[in-house]
Structure 1
Amino acid sequence: MNRITGTALITGASSGIGAEFARQLAAAGHALILVARRQERLQQFKDELEAEYNIPVTIHPADLAQPEQIAALVAFIQGLDELAILINNAGFGTMGNLGETDSSKQTEMVTLHVLATMELTQAALPKMRQQGFGHIINVSSIAAFVTGPGNVNYCATKAYINSFSRSLQLELKGSGVYVQALCPGYTYSEFHDRPEMDGFERRSMPRYLWMPATDVVRESLAYLGREKVIVIPGLLYKWMVAGLQSWLVRVPLIMYQRYLGK
């Protein structure tokens, strides 16, 4: 990890990739602000991190699929004295064709992936530009590069995150503020255990498609302070996105698209 100091704010911080970001940044000495829906779990995680790493941790319980709670976090960010790293990680997926799924869940997904990412980033930018440094990590997905039935808004919102991040980095060139869109593939976490992902069978996916969150986060943090917007952890997924014409690439990509349409 490049040596960047200061406070890091992480959404979706109570489990999975978000929790791993918290652990690795705490180990590097960063003060943390953890945002997630489950207050009790956040408090337990705060106590664990403070005891193990001797760093200050602030918790901010919030459901960022709700516009009023996005607004409250925006106000909180605007009131901070400094912010070095913002990680927009909170997200979820669904299973099923658009016309047959719960419309409220689709609206929540778009709100969380698109509006929350945009509004929190916009809130952090003035402070980061004034400081002359900062890093924004928007957690996207390998799904941003594929299309398929069964989770159309997930693919679409992650594609938005990639485009948003690329364009924003152009705006920020020379400012000392860097933007990354982290695009993991299948990652061991609680993501696929949510009720919205009912029907997904983890065991049916080849083991070589899965990565531990530790590796995903380690690769992301290796690019702190560098103008590399799209970060794809894992050699296999890099090959998939590059579109190499071999069975090793085509088969996982076809399987991924089929599961999006399941």
Structure 2
Amino acid sequence: MTSQTKGFALITGASAGIGAIYADRLARRGYDLILVARNQSRLDALADRLTKETGRAIETVATDLTDKTGLAKIEKLLREDARITMLVNNAGVGSVASILDGQVDSMESMIDLNITALTRLTYAVAPAFVARGAGTIVNISSVVGIAVEMLNGVYSASKSYVLSFGHALQRDLAGKGVRVQTVLPAATATEFWDVAGYAKQKEAPSTMTAEDLVDAALVGLDQGELVTIPTLHDGDGWTQWEADRRALAPGFANAKAAPRYASSVVTGR
């Protein structure tokens, strides 16, 4: 017999890797699940296992979030299904190719998934959570959203977007009962690297397991962190970096250019 539910957590990219571990951990924390990914057979296998192990109610939706019809289906679910209390925006794809090697159509598809789908799903669920005065949104960014030179430029930029979007969400939803956490994984041992074109990264000593990543991210959520970087041992480093970033803002409000941009050309008649 299952215990009382904490509501349904909808997880995108849930069939493998980080998404599948989120499914496992949230089910064990008392959430029922709606698992979203493209591969129905993988979703079914995960749902069957977790149902047997946890007794939670688990639903699956096989859809491609880069397809407008498939994306609209999940948006409608998030707007209308009052059982949903958590959204984990995990679906994403990456690349290690430079602008000289990458195909622009693949980059556009990356933007569709990493940015457009995440944004539309968040816009769908946020008003519903606010109306109920409760809800949790977890957006999966990446440390390359800060260390932008490490991987493909479009991928890094997409993850910088997720981080910036999270800051704005936290501002807009403050005091409305909605928690927003942005998680920044570093290298994590998942199929991400196979798709990105650098499978050997999974074997590197500095690569974290998906289990350790998700467990740490959930502790960060429990502790009320707005931004969680599981691999960063010097937490004060992030705190200071973020404080310095915010401290720059007042300095932007000037009608005149800084003296360093004054023209050195002397004009005469």
TM-score range, shorter chain: 0.7 to 0.9
Unaligned runs of 5+ in 2: 242-269
Task: Decide whether the 8 Å contact of 2:182 with 2:228 is kept in 1.
Answer: yes
Residue 43 (structure 1) aligns with: 44
Of the two, which has the highest radius of gyration? 2
Q: 1:151 to 1:235 in 2, by over 3 A?
A: closer
* Whole-angstrom distance in 2 between the partners of 1:184 and 1:216: 7
Name the SS of the counterpart of 1:210 in structure 2: coil
What are the Cα deviations for residues 182-223 of structure 1, in whole angstroms up to 9, with x where unaligned?
0011111111122xx224532774x0x211112211122223
Residue 105 (structure 1) aligns with: 106
Deviates more, 1:91-100 or 1:114-123: 91-100
Please tell me the residue identity of whatever aligns with 2:230.
P
Give the structure-1-normalised TM-score: 0.83
RMSD over aligned Cα atoms? 2.3
Task: Decide whether the 8 Å contact of 2:187 with 2:201 is kept in 1.
Answer: no
Kindly indicate whether structure 1 or structure 2 has the higher relative contact order, using CA contacts under 8 Å at least 6 residues apart. Answer: 1
Residue 144 (structure 1) aligns with: 145
* Whole-angstrom distance in 2 between the partners of 1:170 and 1:240: 22
What are the Cα deviations for residues 124-155 of structure 1, in whole angstroms up to 9, with x where unaligned?
11221122111100000011111227500111
Residue 25 (structure 2) aligns with: 24
User: 1:79-158, aligned counterparts within 5 Å?
Assistant: 79-148=80-149, 151-158=152-159
User: 1:166-177, aligned counterparts within 5 Å?
Assistant: 166-177=167-178
Give the structure-2-normalised TM-score: 0.81
For these two proteins, the number of residue pairs brought into alignment is 238
Unaligned runs of 5+ in 1: 245-262
* Whole-angstrom distance in 1 between the partners of 2:61 and 2:148: 35
Q: 1:110 to 1:237 in 2, by over 3 A?
A: farther
C-alpha displacement at 1:77, in angstroms?
1.8
Please tell me the residue identity of whatever aligns with 2:207.
W
What percentage of residue pairs aligned between the two structures are identical? 33
Task: Decide whether the 8 Å contact of 1:84 with 1:128 is kept in 2.
Answer: yes
Query: Residue 229 of structure 1 is aligned with which of 220, 226, 240?
Result: 226
Task: Decide whether the 8 Å contact of 1:178 with 1:226 is kept in 2.
Answer: no
Return structure 1 stretches of 4+ with deviation > 6 angstroms. Answer: none
Q: 1:114 to 1:219 in 2, by over 3 A?
A: same
Please tell me the residue identity of whatever aligns with 2:80.
G
C-alpha displacement at 1:242, in angstroms?
7.2
The reply on whether 1:212 has 2:209 as its aligned counterpart is yes
* Whole-angstrom distance in 2 between the partners of 1:136 and 1:81: 15
* Whole-angstrom distance in 1 between the partners of 2:222 and 2:40: 32
* Whole-angstrom distance in 2 between the partners of 1:243 and 1:168: 21
Please tell me the residue identity of whatever aligns with 2:226.
V
Task: Decide whether the 8 Å contact of 1:179 with 1:227 is kept in 2.
Answer: no
